[in-house]
Structure 1
């Protein structure tokens, strides 16, 4: 089943979020320490990913162009509106905007990364779901921590994750047929570097150091594909 890995990933996020609710009422000082630890771990992951780039000018150019596009279409505002709609429909009470923040933060962490693309491609091309199974364990564990500190809005991030990875898995055959292996590997390398910078931004935001509109940088991913394709053809 092509979508098995993606569905397992979505289920892991939901289960992890439900487990996180058990720890949601822990004292605030514990939440603060856990959030700071998460922020540090996310920043380190971002650095590791960013250093994988082989042509850093592609990363810089993609982030600049992608950031401009994201600001023009106000992508972060769109995601926040979706999160607030979920918040309203779920009847959440208390800290206004908490569900939206949890939804957007978790979505960015789970979607931005090479494992989502590589795992979905493996699922679609070879029916090999091992990468997505590994990602599921990681996402499920972080969902517990995110939900304990940010709230149950994390659970709803399974929707964009399933849509994103599922689309790649279903289109994997066409991608394999029309995109040369060398071009695909080049794209994944530079996409990982670009995604790493975004992951770093998420970590800085979680730590309260900088309020970066990371979602507005998401168009940098398709920009990477355009730049890499142009360079490959030239």
Structure 2
């Protein structure tokens, strides 16, 4: 059922945040690192299964046996160049910073007094220091965790895959990642992390609906090309999780739009 992956993701965040609220900041950094490494290896496995769609019979029958590799390569090159020129990854990171500044701020809206944010000192060299208010801490938890959970290629790739009917494996993996992250966020920033499930449901739900629409419009060969391209983007995500190479995966997201277009062009030639 389309949307099941996003529902699982939301449940994982709620459970993780609940554990974080109970445990506080007792989860060791080393333990979180080990879990992340294990999930990174799993991402590479899922990436390999998706990339195998490059030899999908429907795709090879439509464009030939050698063209699929060139289609995926062309999609990554064209999409990557377009994304880098548009600075997709940089803009997403900047959006996160702007949202956090807009919603959290460095001064208390009520008292207009210098405050201490959860991750930094009060503004000004001699500013008085006091704990951030409960409202500020709640908003910081919501904003920070929401950005981590929705600003990333796995949210888009997984939701599209779910909508296309390819299963929820990617979102299941993301659920595990987000659940662990939610423990750390809730331990540090409190109950606002629970509200981030709303952002996840709305954001990923939109891409799931887009996947459903594409599945009803695109031929099977075009979907196979999109899936193979997405598999390579997932591999980049896995390498980032394993801290082997910081590949700008977000800059390559336009490749998902280019792959079906190239398939149609090659098939028409």
Shorter-chain TM-score: what band? Answer: 0.7 to 0.9
Q: Distance in 1 between matches of 2:202 and 2:118?
A: 22
1:87·1:100 contact (CA, 8 Å) conserved in 2?
no
Using a 3 Å threshold, how does the CA distance of structure 1 residues 142 and 208 change in structure 2: closer, same or farther?
closer
Q: Distance in 1 between matches of 2:46 and 2:211?
A: 23
CA deviations over 1:16-67 (Å, ceiling 9, x no partner):
1121222473111101111111111112211222122122221111101100
Match of 1:34 in 2: 35
Quick check: 47-56 or 184-193, which moved more?
47-56
Match of 2:131 in 1: none
Residue 112 in 1 paired to residue 137 in 2? Answer: no
Deviation at 1:99, TM superposition (A): 4.5
Residue 17 in 1 paired to residue 17 in 2? Answer: no
Q: Distance in 2 between matches of 1:136 and 1:212?
A: 20
Deviation at 1:71, TM superposition (A): 0.5
Match of 1:74 in 2: 87
Q: Distance in 2 between matches of 1:135 and 1:201?
A: 14
Match of 2:114 in 1: none
TM-score for the superposition, normalised by structure 1:
0.74
Using a 3 Å threshold, how does the CA distance of structure 1 residues 207 and 140 change in structure 2: closer, same or farther?
closer
Using a 3 Å threshold, how does the CA distance of structure 1 residues 159 and 15 change in structure 2: closer, same or farther?
same
Instruction: Structure 2: state its 5+ residue gaps.
Output: 56-67, 105-116, 121-139, 187-192
Deviation at 1:94, TM superposition (A): 2.3
Using a 3 Å threshold, how does the CA distance of structure 1 residues 86 and 102 change in structure 2: closer, same or farther?
same
CA deviations over 1:167-226 (Å, ceiling 9, x no partner):
343x46xx74x65xxxx2111211111111111111111111111110000000111011
2:155·2:171 contact (CA, 8 Å) conserved in 1?
no
Q: Distance in 2 between matches of 1:121 and 1:62?
A: 19
Q: Distance in 2 between matches of 1:119 and 1:27?
A: 33
Using a 3 Å threshold, how does the CA distance of structure 1 residues 135 and 28 change in structure 2: closer, same or farther?
closer
Match of 2:208 in 1: 165
1:79·1:104 contact (CA, 8 Å) conserved in 2?
no
TM-score for the superposition, normalised by structure 2:
0.65
Question: Partner of 2:2: helix, strand, or coil?
Answer: helix
Using a 3 Å threshold, how does the CA distance of structure 1 residues 138 and 201 change in structure 2: closer, same or farther?
closer
Q: Distance in 2 between matches of 1:87 and 1:15?
A: 24
Deviation at 1:142, TM superposition (A): 4.1
The size of the alignment, in residue pairs, is 211
> Over aligned residues, Cα RMSD in angstroms?
3.3
Instruction: Structure 1: state its 5+ residue gaps.
Output: 123-129
Q: Distance in 2 between matches of 1:117 and 1:232?
A: 23
Residue 145 in 1 paired to residue 180 in 2? Answer: yes
2:54·2:225 contact (CA, 8 Å) conserved in 1?
yes
1:39·1:203 contact (CA, 8 Å) conserved in 2?
yes
Q: Distance in 1 between matches of 2:51 and 2:247?
A: 17
Residue 210 in 1 paired to residue 253 in 2? Answer: no
1:187·1:225 contact (CA, 8 Å) conserved in 2?
yes
Using a 3 Å threshold, how does the CA distance of structure 1 residues 88 and 159 change in structure 2: closer, same or farther?
farther
